[in-house]
Amino acid sequence: MQKTVCIGIESTAHTAGVGIVDSECNVLANEKHSHSTNKGGLIPTELAKHHAQHFPGLIKNALEKSGLSWGEISCIAYSAGPGIGTAMSVGASAARMLALLHDKPLVPVNHSVAHIEIAKKKCGAQNPLVLYVSGGNTQVIGYEAGRYRVYGETLDIGVGNLLDSFGRELGLGFPAGPKLDEIYFQGGKYIPLPYTVKGMDVGFSGLQTAAKRKIRKGHSQTSDIADINGVGEGENIDLAYSLMHTAFAMVLEITERALAHTEKKELLLTGGVAASKALQEMAGKMCGARSVKLFVCPKELSQDNGAMIAWTGMLMFRAGHMVRPKDALTNQNFRTDMEEVDWIH
Ligand code: ATP
Ligand code: FE2
């Protein structure tokens, strides 16, 4: 009997990704290339150009790595949103073209749900509360009655964007999150910053403005971590530490409240910012105090990638969620709780 294998195409933001998984979620290939700039920020048309340039090579390499031919691929999944329209439409076009060319079923996948499904599968979590933290998204999510419900979320920017924009002011380049995560452990003096929790939601823009003002007031711009070490007797390091500590305390406050409400006994971190050792340490303390088991999605699968789209495509293919190429659209505002999750029993 031929095995079920799904190829997944990711293109919602900076990363063009192509992943191939089998029915047990073995990752047979996970090729990607990310658009990056020294200054940070993004231009939507540049993203589209980047993805259009890289998809042909990524698709070819993924198939070669998997050792499979098109005849052995069962379905094609693509990221249908949320994301940046220009970038997503390149991935969706590639998926439509491949489906027509090779006569394969097409599966539109919610990008946020894909972050959750691959993390759950790879960590072995059963029914977790999910903290999904990335550049564009910050959500506390749990499965309930046929959907992934959003218990709390950011009212403005994602926590990763907060870190990246603050890092840009320090001249750390893009993405700044990983560099700031190292700097965090050099800091220690807490500088008070705005802490905005509104009910079950959080807001980062006040924190972003206040932290950036504190850099400009006291110090000249810096160009790398070494410079930061030399500036203002470590005040910028303490500022970076304080920014991260405040932002993570905010998201963990609403996470803890959701844990208390849902009585879930597992917390799963996913999305690009889940790689943060600072966040993991703070989440570990909160989970320890509540006897909740903490899971962290492996980094290569928690950042944007094609395998997570392929795995969620596999689950949805089995549940019959195929569309015709003419209906294979994208939606920039495709919220986590809009997807009907009928593959969980
Ligand atoms: P989404 O479309 O889901 O919002 P994304 O485009 O932001 O995803 P991801 O790969 O999920 O892409 O996340 C990227 C973010 O993760 C960036 O903001 C980056 O700075 C941040 N990041 C990556 N590694 C770390 C780390 N070790 N510590 C903190 N932040 C990190
Ligand atoms: Fe993402």
Nearest listed ligand to the Cα of residue 42: 1
Q: What amino acid is encoded at 256 in this protein?
A: E
Q: HSE of 148 in the Cβ direction (CA atoms, 13 Å)?
A: 26
Per the confidence metrics, is the pTM higher than 0.75?
yes
Q: What is the pLDDT of residues 117-152, one digit of tens each?
A: 999 999 999 999 999 999 999 999 999 999 999 999
- How many whole angstroms from 69 Cα to the centroid of ligand 2? 28
Domains of the chain listed by start with CATH number: 5-116+301-338 (3.30.420.40), 125-299 (3.30.420.40)
pLDDT of residue 216: 53
Q: What does the alpha-carbon distance between residue 97 and residue 326 come to, in Å, rounded to a whole number?
A: 11
Q: From the alpha carbon of 175, which atom of ligand 1 is closest?
A: 20
The reported pLDDT for the residue numbered 130 is 98
Q: How far is the CA of 271 from the centre of ligand 2 (A)?
A: 6
List, for residues 25-69, the tens digit of each pLDDT value: 999 999 999 998 766 667 899 999 999 999 999 999 999 999 999
Share of the chain above pLDDT 70, in %: 93
pLDDT tens track for 76-114: 999 999 999 999 999 999 999 999 999 999 999 999 999
pLDDT beyond 90 at 202: yes
Instruction: Examine the pLDDT at 251 and tell me if it is beyond 90.
Output: yes
Q: Is the CB of 137 under 6 A from ligand 1?
A: yes
Task: Copy the structure tokens of residue 57.
Answer: 């090579």
Whether residue 242 is predicted with pLDDT greater than 80 in this model: the reply is yes
| Element holding 34 (H helix, E strand) | strand 27-34
> What's the CA dihedral at 280, 282, 284, 143 to 10 degrees?
-80
Give the Cα separation of 116 and 318 in Å (integer). 18
Instruction: List pLDDT tens digits, range 169-194.
Output: 998 888 999 999 999 999 889 999 99
pLDDT at site 38 = 67
Residue 277 has pLDDT above 60, yes or no: yes
What SS3 class is residue 51? helix
> Is residue 6 lining ligand 1, measured as CB closer than 6 Å?
no
Per-residue pLDDT, 42: 79
pLDDT at 39: 67
Mean pLDDT of all residues belonging to the chain: 93
In the predicted model, what is the mean pLDDT of residues 250-276? 98
For the Cβ of 167 lying below 6 angstroms from any atom of ligand 1, the answer is no
Q: Could you tell me if the CB of 105 is within 6 A of ligand 1?
A: no
Using the predicted structure, report yes or no on whether residue 284 has a pLDDT greater than 60.
Answer: yes
Whether 217 has a pLDDT exceeding 50, the answer reads no
Element spanning 289, H or E = helix 277-290
Q: Find out whether 307 and 20 touch, Cβ atoms under 8 Å.
A: yes
Q: What is the mean pLDDT of residues 72-76?
A: 98
pLDDT over 50 (residue 223): no
Q: What is the pLDDT of residue 173?
A: 86
pLDDT at 37: 74
Which whole number is the average pLDDT over 238-255? 97
